[in-house]
């Protein structure tokens, strides 16, 4: 409790610039934690959705049946569900064209899935640059407050004939608190950014692998349809 009171006292007695530095770091820390909890929830949901849809897809169910199920709840689809829906919808549309070849049908489906893949990766990476920014600049903002506080302390020492530790200690303490707050804001942001970036990369690889496997299945379907028509 005493440490908390001392911190508040130091903040109140600090210079206006150091107070602004501390407030900036506090706001950055709160915002980064909000982003961390949000991204954690979204990435956890995306990972669970990936596993769930892969189990459904590789269960041997008919592709048309899966598409109809997803189309019935289109507003809640994410990840592989969107990839599958976009690819199968384009596949069905192009297959009805008499001028389409199996190669053009599969290529069209692949392009449709590529667009959805790009959008999904952008959605998963949303706000990650903010965490990277907080993690990279917060220590420098805190260091700026530290330098300013120490500078003011030494300037104050120059105006007295006899300097004591009691005179310089508060200014140095407030300066070091600015550095501590910078590290407090930066460390969780850096850890979260690295963890989330790795998770996004793994999800993107899983999406890309599914897209290639699904394209191979659609290619076989297209050639089988052509053989039956011929």
* pLDDT tens for each residue of 144-183: 888 887 887 777 666 666 656 566 666 677 778 888 889 9
pTM of the entire structure?
0.83
Lowest mean pLDDT among 19-23, 123-127, 151-155, 179-183: 151-155
Cα dist. 37→81, 105, 191, 198 in Å? 24, 41, 13, 16
As a whole number, mean pLDDT of residues 188-200 equals: 96
- Tokens 């192009």 belong to residue: 94
Cα separations in angstroms, 76 against 66, 96, 124, 172: 15, 28, 16, 54
Each residue's pLDDT tens digit, 62-71: 888 999 999 8
pLDDT at 4: 46
Average pLDDT, the chain: 85
Q: What does the pLDDT read at residue 213?
A: 92
CA 47 to each of CA 115, 117, 200, 202, 206: distance values in angstroms, whole numbers, following the listed order: 20, 15, 10, 9, 10
Q: In this predicted structure, what is the pLDDT of residue 103? A: 87
pLDDT for res 81:
92
Q: Work out the average pLDDT over 116-144.
A: 94
* Residue 98, pLDDT score: 67
Q: What is the pLDDT of residue 96?
A: 81
Rounded distance between C-alpha atoms, residue 68 and residue 90, angstroms: 14
């Amino acid at each position: 409790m005493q440490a908390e009171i001392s911190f508040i006292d130091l903040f109140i007695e600090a210079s206006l610039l150091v107070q602004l530095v501390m407030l900036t770091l506090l706001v950055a820390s709160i915002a980064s934690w909000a982003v961390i909890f949000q991204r954690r929830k979204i990435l956890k949901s995306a990972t669970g959705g990936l596993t769930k849809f892969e189990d459904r897809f590789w269960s041997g169910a008919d592709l048309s049946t899966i598409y109809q199920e997803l189309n019935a709840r289109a507003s809640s689809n994410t990840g592989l569900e969107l990839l599958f829906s976009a690819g199968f919808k384009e596949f069905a549309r192009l297959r009805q064209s008499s001028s389409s070849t199996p190669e053009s049908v599969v290529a069209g489906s692949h392009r449709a899935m590529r667009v959805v893949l790009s959008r999904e990766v952008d959605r998963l990476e949303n706000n990650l640059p903010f965490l990277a920014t907080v993690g990279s600049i917060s220590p420098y903002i805190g260091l700026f407050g530290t330098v300013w506080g120490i500078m003011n302390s030494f300037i104050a020492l120059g105006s007295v004939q006899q300097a004591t530790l009691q005179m310089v200690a508060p200014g140095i303490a407030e300066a070091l608190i600015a550095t501590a707050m910078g590290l407090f804001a930066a460390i969780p942001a850096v850890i979260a950014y690295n963890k989330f970036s790795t998770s996004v990369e793994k999800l993107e690889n899983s999406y890309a692998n599914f897209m290639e496997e699904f394209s191979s299945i659609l290619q076989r379907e297209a050639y089988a349809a052509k053989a039956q028509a011929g």
